[in-house]
Structure 1
Amino acid sequence: MSRRRTPKKRFLSPDPFYESRLVHMIVNRLMKKGKKSLAYRMFYQAMKQIGETTQQDPVEVIEQAVRNATPLVEVKARRVGGSTYQVPLEVNPERGTALGIRWILTSCRSRSGRDMVTKLTNEFLDASKNLGNAIRKRDEVHRMAEANKAFAKYRF
């Protein structure tokens, strides 16, 4: 990683069907081995199922799910005088969104079930209702930050 300057931020174009940048971010994280068309197909089928079950706009349900899974604080390890402290830090909004998406997709992959579309649908529905493994992960991170609040003076 270069130490001289930070690279320019690249902005994603919105996806073709729903015109949403969030959908494009999720598809990029869902994609494996460069198979973007397969990722789009799976995600759009999941969106269709979400729309049928909730009778709402699926993009709003997905936005709510990601918003619920997004952490506000996280802990980072910091070495001070030979000992390592878990220092709580506020999360940048972009990083928070990326973490929320990542946690939703990893918990969806670890779910039991046959096809990825139903696992994706169920995980997004659970996260939009503040349930599921991604929400549990966010609560665990928040609990860790709360427990280590005494080390906030070591922020960098």
Structure 2
Amino acid sequence: MSRRRVAKKRQISPDPVYNSRLVHMITNRLMKNGKKALAYRLIYQALKQIGDITEQDPIKVMEQAVRNATPLVEVKSRRIGGSTYQVPLEVGPERGTALAISWLLTSCRNRSGRDMVTNLTNEFLDASKSMGNAIKKRDEVHKMAEANKAFAKYRF
């Protein structure tokens, strides 16, 4: 980490089909070993299935899923006087979105199922209804922060 200056925040370009920055962010997180075309194909097929199942705009469903999975607080370890405390901190909007996308894709990968497209579809649908593993993860983080609220005075 550089001590000189803060790195500039790069603007992410929207994806070519839906013209959405969120789809592009999810695609970049889904991509493995630089295979972006494969990641785009998986996302677009999942969005098509979401549209067929819900008969709504699939982008709105995905935005709702990410919004539901976004945490408000998180805990970070802080060492004070030989003890390590879990200090609750508020999460900024960019970090919250990044965590939500990460949790959604992790729970998709851990789901048992035939293929990634159905796992993506089911996880986004579950998260948009405030169910699923990503929502459980968010609730777990919130409970952890609530339990360690006494250490909020050690915020940095």
TM-score by length of 2: 0.99
Are 2:126 and 1:151 aligned?
Answer: no
Q: CA deviation at 1:119?
A: 0.3
Deviations 1:86-121 (A, max 9, x none): 000000100000000000000000000111000000
Runs of 4+ in 1 over 2 A off after TM superposition: none
Once the two structures are superposed, the pairs formed by residues 3-152 of structure 1 within 5 Å of their partners are 3-152=3-152
Gaps of 5+ in 1: none
Q: CA deviation at 1:26?
A: 0.3
Distance 2:6 2:19 in 1: 29
Deviations 1:100-151 (A, max 9, x none): 0000000000000111000000000000000000000000000000000000
Distance 1:3 1:132 in 2: 40
Q: How many positions carry a matched residue from both structures? A: 156
Q: In the alignment, residue 131 of structure 2 is paired with which amino acid?
A: L
TM-score by length of 1: 0.99
What SS does the corresponding residue of 2:113 show, helix, strand or coil?
A: coil
Deviations 1:16-47 (A, max 9, x none): 11010000000000000000000000100000
Deviations 1:50-94 (A, max 9, x none): 000000000000000000000000000001100000000000100
RMSD: 0.4
Distance 1:7 1:83 in 2: 32
Q: Which moved more, 1:24-33 or 1:2-11?
A: 2-11
